[in-house]
Structure 1
Amino acid sequence: MRRKKLRFGLIQKLLLAIFLGVVYGQLKFLPLIFFEIPVTISTFFSALLNFIIPLMVVAFIVMGIADLTEGAGKLLGITTGIAYVSTIIGGVSALFIVRQIFPLFINEKAANIGEMESLVKPIFEIPIEPLLDVTSGIVFAFMFGLGISYLRQHSKRHGDAIYNVFSDFSDIISYLLGHLVVPGIPIFVFGNFVNMSYSGSAFNILSVFWKVYLVILILHWVFVFIWFCIAGAYTGKSPIKLIKNQIPGYLTAAATQSSAATIPVNLSIAEKNGVSEKIRNFVIPFCATAHIIGSVMTIVSIIYAVLLLNGMPTGLDKFIPFIFTLGIAMVAAPGAPGGGIMSTLPYIGMVGLDPSGTIASLLISLYMTQDSFGTAANVSSDNAIALVIDKIYRTKLAKSDTE
């Protein structure tokens, strides 16, 4: 009788990477080179991620918009508006809530961040500059996506060639994510925790952040519940039934840590919820990259906690503009595990953090160990948005038929 092989999902691999990294970092009798090697690999992977993220933005958003035909501009505008407002409300709400809760158990002495100064340096660094920044990628993707959609709608001879180019490009990025980025993430996290364990800060940080993670998880569940209550009230459907239907999508996102990988499951759930084929085929893939309420709530909460640990200012005058920026900068980020924090790094200077310092490495590791639940919150509320958009679309069709 053949024995079944023990398979580890991404979450289990990340937890194992943290455990092994903490243990390995305590083997201080080893020569320094044994710690510099995993740190060097982790640093290189971080640069590689930073290079891929803008390409992922272009690949996913262009195809999401280009696949629309009739009414692309109007549907895009309505869906984008709802997704952005939802993301901002989630981020701002999370900010006001953690401002009340986190100071109860976080202060400068809660975790000795000062020990981070003794982190191991990489043996060498390879500068990999992105071809374009995330914001430029978003603008490019929107312009080309709408342009391709227009050509395919108004001409049977034009638009197919460039559509096929971006379709192949999207397939290439998906392949790289599945065969390079996702398998490399546990190695990246291992290197970061080796470094933090060696410096002596890992245990202190983890003793604080399990409480931070618990608060974030509860916030996710509350906002997903609110979204389905809104969608249920607007469409006349039972929120409890809608939430029950969403459970497979939530679990898939939590297991894969990728909104892109959850799209097929979410499409079947949208069909079960009664969303029309045209709307679900647009809203679900588009919101998988554009609606990032869970990810933004996670980012805001983790950064706020890190600022408290460092005794740095946490004023609303810095955080509110930061949240509004994240609503745009993080578009398409949830398509790849850890993409949210990588898209955020160029903007953390707005709240007083160094995008290239040791704190940035800490943020990456802390975010990625909890990224799966933020992604699950994103995709779950996407189906609530699909219900709302479908009702708006059906109402407009009915109105145009009577005129």
Structure 2
Amino acid sequence: MMKRLFSNLLFKVFLAIVLGIVFGLYLPESVNRIFTTFNDFFGQFLNFAIPLIIMGLIMPAISDLGKSAGKLLLLTVAIAYGSTLFSGFSTYFAASSIFPQLLATHVNDLVQIGGSSPELKPYFSISIPPALDVMTSLFLAFIIGLGISYQEKSTLKLVVKDFQTIITQLIENVIVPLLPLFILGIFASMSFSGKVFSILSVFISIIGVIFALHILLLLIQFTIAAVITKKNPFKLLLTMTPAYFTALGTQSSAATIPVTLEQTLKNGVSERIAGFVIPLCATIHLSGSIMKITACAMALMILRGMPFDFTLFTGFIFMLGIAMVAAPGVPGGAIMAAVGILQSMLGFNEEMIGLMIALYIAMDSFGTACNVTGDGAIALVVDKITSASETRSPVSYSKE
């Protein structure tokens, strides 16, 4: 169901962008203001829902991790989180070197347009203040999740699971179905103000850079795994390509687990390690997702002339790696979990959030494929470390 929902969403977002451009160019201002009014309300609702989404996704995820706590769990989580952080920071350095020059002409175009462009205003506005701010909800979710993980029997855990179900239903049945209309309103507004064609050309440039970076990341991940396991990195990566292409089609880390597991076993990982690491990493390893969000966030900040530095993005990347835990289980979960941090730490407004969502969905297949393929590299490393530290009977591994 989730796979079908998100696949349909990609088409709907594309259609929303096209219709938004057409409506903004050819429909009268009075009609376009209807979409702006909806966007204002939906933006308020999204701001209200984001802290709840963060708690609903993170609390049960952390409590479940603690359920089977042990050295293998800690090792896998540490390597997966380290891989996610490496992807985020390497993306920051690459993007900060490439994007300023690549996007320079677009910045000038948007500045010239912004000075005299007409703006659409909503017919009315409704304020929906959130019950908690983003950082409070993030730390509260972390504390409650850890507390539950140390309790064998907890009534609160059942409440948290029910809350997770409610939040998942909210995302699947309300937020995700309304996202195309929200994006339509964003592009109608940009088209009406004359910014849309500059933005679309930026989209193409950003997507091309991120695709190249995610291929490079996979090469680095499997080179490191190959050095540790003393195997051929290209053969290891080639073995994982069925999982990569399956993820391109399913757009789901969870749905690709059987293929990822099968190909990981073919790379010589023991059945015990592969059976533990692959399902776990499908939830916590988000190197492709953090790459997309970091690169897109920086690109939009450059276009808006917003200042940024390494210190700002350091905090953003660390918090993003935590906030996206368990997000792959929900359609659009990663970008939904990131919205609050984009607002609170980077100062993104409603229009920038809409562009982030559109960019993320457009590249979702590649990010998911990068995530699950990298899971195979992590399994190789965990298997090598555990086999070196444990006294056990020899296991048959393929040697290159």
Q: TM-score, normalised to structure 2's length?
A: 0.78
Given candidates 314, 321, 326, the residue that maps to 2:320 is 326
1:14 aligns with 2:13: yes
Query: CA distance change for structure 1 residues 266 and 65 in 2, over 3 Å: closer, same or farther?
Result: farther
Q: Does 1:297 align with 2:291?
A: yes
RMSD: 3.8
Task: Report the Cα distance in structure 2 between the residues aligned to 1:23 and 1:69, rounded to whole angstroms.
Answer: 51
The 8 Å contact of residues 36 and 122 in structure 2, kept in 1 or not, is answered as yes
Deviates more, 1:219-228 or 1:114-123: 114-123
Pair 1:143–1:322, CA change in 2 (3 A): closer
Match of 2:101 among 91, 98, 104: 104
CA contact (8 A) 1:63 1:170 kept: yes
Could you tell me which residue of structure 2 aligns to residue 369 of structure 1?
Answer: 362
1:87 maps to which of 69, 84, 87: 84
Tell me whether 1:207 sits opposite 2:201 in the alignment: yes
In the alignment, residue 243 of structure 1 is paired with which amino acid?
L
The amino acid of 1:14's aligned partner reads V
Name the counterpart of 2:226: 232
Q: Give the letter for the 2:95 counterpart.
A: V
Kindly provide the CA deviation profile for residues 290-334 of structure 1, in whole angstroms up to 9, marking residues without a partner as x: 333222222232232223323443443443443334333444445
Q: Deviations over 1:125-173 (max 9, x none)?
A: 4444455455455545554545544444xxxxx34x5555444444444
Alignment correspondent of 1:3: none
Asked whether the 8 Å contact 1:326–1:344 carries over to 2, the reply is yes
CA distance in 2, matches of 1:43, 1:326: 26
Query: Does the residue aligned with 2:384 lie in a helix, a strand or coil?
Result: helix
Equivalence map 1:246-257=2 (5 Å): 246-255=240-249, 257=251
Aligned partner of 2:181 in structure 1 is 187
1:35 aligns with 2:29: no
The answer (yes or no) to whether the contact 1:39–1:191 under 8 Å persists in 2 is yes
Look up the equivalent residue of 2:370 and give its one-letter code.
Answer: A
**Number of the residue aligned with 1:222:** 216
- Paired residue type of 1:109: N
Instruction: From the superposition, tell whether residues 207 and 69 of structure 1 become closer, same or farther in structure 2 (CA, over 3 Å).
Output: closer
Q: How many residues were matched structurally?
A: 386
Q: TM-score, normalised by structure 1?
A: 0.77
Q: Conserved in 1, the CA contact under 8 Å of 2:7 and 2:251?
A: no
Counterpart residue number, 2:74:
77
Residues 42-63 of structure 1 show CA distances to partners (whole Å, capped at 9, x for unaligned) of: 4444444445554444444444
Q: Which runs of 5+ in 2 are unaligned?
A: 1-5, 395-400
Once residues 116 and 225 of structure 2 are traced to their aligned partners in structure 1, the CA distance between those partners, rounded to angstroms, is 46
Q: Is 1:306 aligned to residue 300 of structure 2? A: yes
Match of residue 379, structure 1, among 372, 378, 383: 372
Unaligned runs of 5+ in 1: 1-6, 153-157
Task: Sort the Cα spacing of 1:347 and 1:69 in 2 relative to 1 into closer, same or farther, 3 A.
Answer: closer
Distance 2:44 2:240 in 1: 35
**Which letter does structure 2 place at the counterpart of 1:310?**
R
Q: Distance in 2 between matches of 1:347 and 1:67?
A: 23
- Tell me how far 1:217 sits from its aligned partner: 1.0
1:169-221: CA deviation from partner (whole Å, max 9, x where unpaired):
44444444433343333222222211211111111111222112101111011
Q: What amino acid does structure 2 have at the position aligned with 1:365?
A: A
Letter in 2 for 1:11: L
Label 1:310 to 1:51 Cα distance change in 2 as closer, same or farther (>3 A). Answer: closer
Q: Distance in 1 between matches of 2:276 and 2:48?
A: 27
- In structure 1, how many angstroms separate the alpha carbons of the residues matched to 2:273 and 2:138? 22
Deviation at 1:246, TM superposition (A): 3.6
Task: Tell me the SS of whatever aligns to 2:348.
Answer: coil
Q: Would the aligned equivalents of 2:24 and 2:191 in 1 still touch at CA under 8 Å?
A: yes
Q: Give the percent of matched residue pairs that are identical in Structure 1 and Structure 2.
A: 45
Equivalent residues of 2:59, 2:142 under 8 A apart? yes
Change (3 A) 1:184 1:349: closer
